Amino acid sequence: MISSTAIAHLKEKLGDANVLHEKEDLLTLGYDSTPGVHHLPEVVVYPTSSEQVVAAMEIAEREGLPLTPRGSGTGLSGGSVPVKGGMVLCLTRMNRILEIDEENLTATAEAGVITLDLFNAVAAKGLFYPPDPGSQKISTLGGNVAENAGGLRGLKYGVTRDYVMALKGVLADRSLIATGGKSVKDVAGYGFKDLLVGSEGTLGIITEITVKLIPPPQDKRTILAYFDDVRTAGEAVSRIIAAKIIPSTMEIMDRAVINCVEDYVKIGLPRQMAALLLIEVDGHPAPVAEEAAGVRKILEEVKAAEIHVARDAEHAAGLAAARRTALSALARVSPTTLLEDATVPRSRLAETFGEIERLREKYQLKVGTFGHAGDGNLHPTVLCDERDHDEMARAHAFYNELYEQVLAWGGTVSGEHGIGLAKKEYLARQIGPGGVQVMKRIKQTFDPQGLLNPGKIFDEGDPCTKAHVEEGFRVSH
Amino acid sequence: MSHTEPLGNFKSEDAPHYDDVLQCMRCGFCLPTCPTYALTGRERSSPRGRVALARAVAEKKLEFTPAIKEEAFFCLDCRACTSACPSGVRAGEVMEVCRSQAHAFYPLGKMGKAFREFILQKMVPSPDLLETSMLPTRLYQRLGIQWLVRHLKVLKLGPEWMEKAEGMLPRLEKPLRPQLPLLTPARGEKRGKVGFFLGCVMTLMYPNVSRNTVRVLSHQGFEVVTPRETKCCGAPHLSEGDRETARQLALFNLDLFLAQDVDYIVTDCAGCGAALKEYEELLEERAEHDRLARFRSKIRDVSEFLMEVGLRTEGLQEITASVTYHEPCHLCHAQGISAQPRRIIRQIPGVELREMAEASWCCGSAATWGLKYAEDSRKVLDRKLENVKASGAEILVTANPGCQLQLAWGVREASLPQDVLHLMELLGRALPPD
Ligand SMILES: Cc1cc2nc3c(=O)[nH]c(=O)nc-3n(C[C@H](O)[C@H](O)[C@H](O)COP(=O)(O)OP(=O)(O)OC[C@H]3O[C@@H](n4cnc5c(N)ncnc54)[C@H](O)[C@@H]3O)c2cc1C
Ligand code: SF4
Ligand code: SF4
């Protein structure tokens, strides 16, 4: 147990309200959105400045407490779950937007700023921050950077990495670092800013983020297409890409997802359809019209069952919002929702749907699939009950076999949710022992004592000085 | 929502269903909608955190600790999380059930218990007693006797509540209940017969509102039956964790209203409406299913009702004013009624509806919460008042007496110019004179 002097020190440095150690608080800060994983930390701190981050790290080191950074805990791979106990360092109270620089088209914010808040703040100045994970209303920028989050607009605009220009943070040796800057071109030395993006809290604590902004698209058109067969939807996506049209968004939902979302949003989605594609093209008005016509033509060629154009901006926004609820809405069906992040080259999309269908039947599971179809990034989600061990085993086998195929096609085990706890074994399969070794060596360089977010991405020989896992809270994923 | 089998570390009576807590997939969509999370930034005061606590108790990972009791009562039961949750989790209701658990685990002291019993089990359930008990309050307002103040104190409210409770009380008139005729005839072409459920706070604090509701209904062509015997809907009891008295009241009202020959049962109190619509769950094992279903199918909030049957606008007089609308939690979140009141406002000739930001964010009243947590309540209210101010509207309309008390008080305290009206008062102003 953490000593009472350490608690007192933490309170002295961070303020009483920013240090929590009652059991009820520990219990509610030992999870993220990943099912089946829950571990209690010994203490939770909410720094309000980089200096406080350093102070908290110093005390953690002295006490031999591993340190797990946390944003809003919306992660889907267990990244902010403190598997080795210790200290959870929660960044949500560092939530100031520091600057919106209209001359350089950048914004600088603390790591705990909610993604949508930044989006709205820059939009108010006529600017655009494109990365928009489904969790944007809740997730933090720090969490987005640490997971290299993607989003609905990833297809045309890219992911978080493509917008991060500079980072400030604290490394494991408690040094303050600043990497990158506002210069559009910067090749001075190793690009270790890019290493921190997607590092899942294992290489450093990110405290401040400068992102690139762009002018918003002047025009936008949203098309909704329904299909009698998911595979046809997959084919439509591949053909649109092959026709060299890059929509900003191309999202898919299958029948199970359509129904769950409709149960929640009640906007009249057609429950009997096998799949839905939500396609958005944006940019200058003339090419937008041309691309929309191109998309429409392909949809007609593959014989989409119905094609609709969003009535107005509000309707389009409503559809996108509905899509964002897909994962949570699936949780209506069953107690446990196991989601994966399988990503394939886009030409394989139709086949992937076929494979999911085949495995669903083979293992007799309830599966709903949605995702960023344009990126080849699918989230096949098994709807099950964690109390049913046989069903859980079948779910595991389902994903195992699916990833086997995904990797054979040159895909990846994570498009955007990271590796965390949930996908360590799959990562090793994807990049091989050599790949894992390189990653471990990088980790070793940044964090020789293994204090930062231990147990994530790959299994270490346990370099942690102290492990504390509450009885009854185990990884059962 | 309630359970008679023992579940984990809960006591057997009225425990949450395990399936209800398992349903939470911890996505966090509820976090930005929760007023108490906005106040503390602490996960355990968020819907996701509260459900996790209940789950831990159910799974015997945690005792029912004082902190859980605290969270159960600190939750406003505003149900904003229910609206926000795509998975269909009802964190507010789980906490409501936990309030009765709290009493089972931590019984009140003798005095507290006696007064609690007196107020919740004797006074509130008896309309006569309730009305006579308000008499001294009226006297108090005239003579300055601190009667109410002293009597309420034994409910163990915080210390700041006194001044606020005093400041909030509108100038009381005679209770409405004995004044309303048992049967108010329909005007013009008759469209049906409705039962009117008159709430306690309405009859005591806002008789003018319900008088207008009955006028509106009659003007709209409905014959209105107002049973004198109507008892409290039970919402205050649920809110204080006294589910047993709530059930008795519910059974009484169920019998009473099913015995009336009416097409609908209408109320103008969002809190009552929400409670009545939830009798089905509250009485799950205590009344026959088809009677509960029949009762449920008749309950309407007055705005919901008027939009369903269609508002007759001929003869309405013009009101030139701009209006902004505050959504009561128990209307928008608990009953899903959000568009209807706005449609009514728009249909009143001359009225301009100016939307305020965060119209469905709680005003901080929440039954006795606003008194128990006076300082927090003030913060929630201030956020609301900022938005009211920014709307620039002349009239602030709402549809629940609790909100109306809180908002009227807030507007007065902040010296804002708005009139605070119930939707039926606004509509009443547009009716031709009787
Ligand atoms: C409904 C739903 C929809 C989602 N949709 C998407 C989507 O479309 N695209 C997508 O990419 N993801 C999506 N996600 C996953 C998740 O929202 C993202 O991974 C998000 O970026 C996590 O942010 P967070 O603030 O919640 O971080 P957390 O979950 O708290 O943490 C995530 C990881 O980042 C680390 N971390 C957090 N803050 C810092 C910091 N300041 N410094 C260093 N490390 C830090 C943590 O240790 C952890 O490893 C979704 C999740 C949900 C529940
Ligand atoms: S209560 Fe609902 S919205 Fe909140 S975390 Fe759980 S599933 Fe998500
Ligand atoms: S009912 Fe209101 S206060 Fe309670 S958890 Fe839900 S949103 Fe928060």
Q: Is residue B357 part of a domain?
A: yes
| Residue A475 pLDDT > 60 | no
Strands B419-422 and B395-398: parallel
Question: How confident is the prediction for chain B on average, in pLDDT?
Answer: 88
Q: Which residue of A has its CA nearest to B64?
A: A24
Beta bridge partners of B183: B225
Q: Which domain-ending residue is among B144, B168, B192?
A: B168
Q: Is residue B119 part of a domain?
A: no
pLDDT tens readout for residues A276-324: 999 999 999 999 999 999 999 999 999 999 999 999 999 999 999 999 9
Other beta carbons within 10 Å of B196: 23
Residue B136: the pLDDT is: 53
Residues in chain A: 477
Beta bridge partners of A277: A225, A252
- Verify that B158 and B191 share a domain, yes or no: no
Contact (CB<8Å) A28/B19: no
Domain that holds residue B422: 315-430
Q: Is residue B121 part of a domain?
A: no
Nearest CA to ligand 2 atom 2: B85
Contact (CB<8Å) B23/A138: no
pLDDT band at B423 (very low <50, low <70, confident <90, very high): very high
Tell me what the mean pLDDT of segment B288-314 comes to. 95
Tell me what the mean pLDDT of segment A172-177 comes to. 95
The CATH number of residue B209's host domain is 3.40.50.1860
Cα distance between residue B297 and residue A343, in whole Å? 48
Q: Are A145 and A131 in contact (CB under 8 A)?
A: no
Nearest CA to ligand 1 atom 49: A79
Q: Is residue B277 part of a domain?
A: yes
Most A CBs within 10 A among B19, B20, B27, B40, hence the mutation to make, goes to B27
- Verify that B290 and B331 share a domain, yes or no: no
> Is the Cβ of A28 closer than 8 Å to some Cβ of chain B?
yes
Nearest to A25 among B24, B44, B87 (CB): B44
- Verify that B299 and B247 share a domain, yes or no: yes
- Verify that B283 and B372 share a domain, yes or no: no
Q: Is residue B423 part of a domain?
A: yes
Q: Which domain-ending residue is among B266, B282, B308?
A: B308
pLDDT band at B241 (very low <50, low <70, confident <90, very high): confident
Q: Are A477 and A36 in contact (CB under 8 A)?
A: yes
Contact (CB<8Å) A25/B42: yes
Ligand 2 centre and the CA of B2: distance in Å?
A: 20
- Verify that B288 and B232 share a domain, yes or no: yes
- Verify that B191 and B297 share a domain, yes or no: yes
Candidate from A28, A49, A74 with most ligand 1 atoms within 8 A of CB, to mutate:
A74
pLDDT band at A188 (very low <50, low <70, confident <90, very high): confident
Among the residue ranges B41-50, B84-93, B153-162, the one predicted with the least confidence is B153-162
Residues with CB under 6 A from ligand 3: B 33-36, 47, 50, 75-81, 91-92, 95
The CATH number of residue B339's host domain is 3.40.50
What ipTM was estimated for this complex? 0.93
pLDDT band at B145 (very low <50, low <70, confident <90, very high): very low
- Chain A positions touching B26 (Cβ under 8 A) are 31-33, 73
Contact (CB<8Å) A325/B29: yes
CA dihedral B82, B86, B89, B92 (to 10 degrees): -20
- Verify that B374 and B421 share a domain, yes or no: yes
- Chain A positions touching B19 (Cβ under 8 A) are 335
Specify the number of domains making up chain B.
4
- Verify that B36 and B95 share a domain, yes or no: yes
Question: How confident is the prediction for chain A on average, in pLDDT?
Answer: 93
Min distance B27 CA to chain A CA atoms (Å): 5
Most A CBs within 10 A among B21, B23, B26, hence the mutation to make, goes to B26
Residue B137: the pLDDT is: 60
| Residue B385 pLDDT > 70 | yes
pLDDT band at B121 (very low <50, low <70, confident <90, very high): confident
Among the residue ranges B111-125, B368-382, B416-430, the one predicted with the least confidence is B111-125
pLDDT band at B81 (very low <50, low <70, confident <90, very high): very high
- Chain B positions touching A72 (Cβ under 8 A) are 28, 31
Nearest to B65 among A24, A73, A114 (CB): A24
Joined together, the tokens standing for residue B207 give 């008789």
Most A CBs within 10 A among B20, B24, B42, hence the mutation to make, goes to B42
- Verify that B324 and B380 share a domain, yes or no: yes
- Verify that B80 and B194 share a domain, yes or no: no
Q: Is residue B114 part of a domain?
A: no
> Is the Cβ of A336 closer than 8 Å to some Cβ of chain B?
yes
Q: Is residue B173 part of a domain?
A: no
How many Cα atoms within 13 Å fall on the side-chain side of residue A400? 10
Could you tell me which residues of chain B have a Cβ less than 8 Å from any Cβ in chain A?
19, 22-29, 31-32, 41-44, 46, 48-49, 52-53, 56, 59, 61-62, 65, 67-68, 71, 85-88
Residue B242: the pLDDT is: 87
Q: Are A257 and A376 in contact (CB under 8 A)?
A: no
pLDDT tens readout for residues B17-37: 998 999 999 999 999 999 999
Contact (CB<8Å) A328/B27: yes
Say which amino acid occupies A335. P
Among the residue ranges B37-46, B130-139, B203-212, B341-350, the one predicted with the least confidence is B130-139
pLDDT tens readout for residues A218-231: 999 999 999 999 99
Q: Is residue B9 part of a domain?
A: no
3-state secondary structure chain A: CCCHHHHHHHHHHHCHHHEECCHHHHHCCCCCCCCCCCCCCCEEECCCCHHHHHHHHHHHHHHCCCEEEECCCCCCCCCCCCCCCCEEEECCCCCCEEEEECCCCEEEEECCCEHHHHHHHHHCCCCECCCCCCCCCCCEHHHHHHHCCCCCCHHHHCCHHHHEEEEEEEECCCCEEEEECCCCCCCCCCCHHHHHCCCCCCCEEEEEEEEECECCCCEEEEEEEEECCHHHHHHHHHHHHHCCCCCCEEEEEEHHHHHHHHHHHCCCCCCCCCEEEEEEEEECHHHHHHHHHHHHHHHHHCCCCEEEECCCHHHHHHHHHHHHCHHHHHCCCCCEEEECCCECCHHHHHHHHHHHHHHHHHHCCEEEEEEEHHHCEEEEEEEECCCCHHHHHHHHHHHHHHHHHHHHCCCECCCCCCCCCCCHHHHHHHHHHHHHHHHHHHHHHHCCCCCECCCCCCCCCCCCCCCCCCCCCCCCC
Say which amino acid occupies A224. L
Task: Give chain A's domains with CATH numbers.
Answer: 4-90 (3.30.43.10), 97-212 (3.30.465.10), 219-408 (3.40.462.10), 424-476 (no CATH)
- Verify that B212 and B253 share a domain, yes or no: yes
The CATH number of residue B99's host domain is 1.10.1060.10
- Verify that B323 and B413 share a domain, yes or no: yes
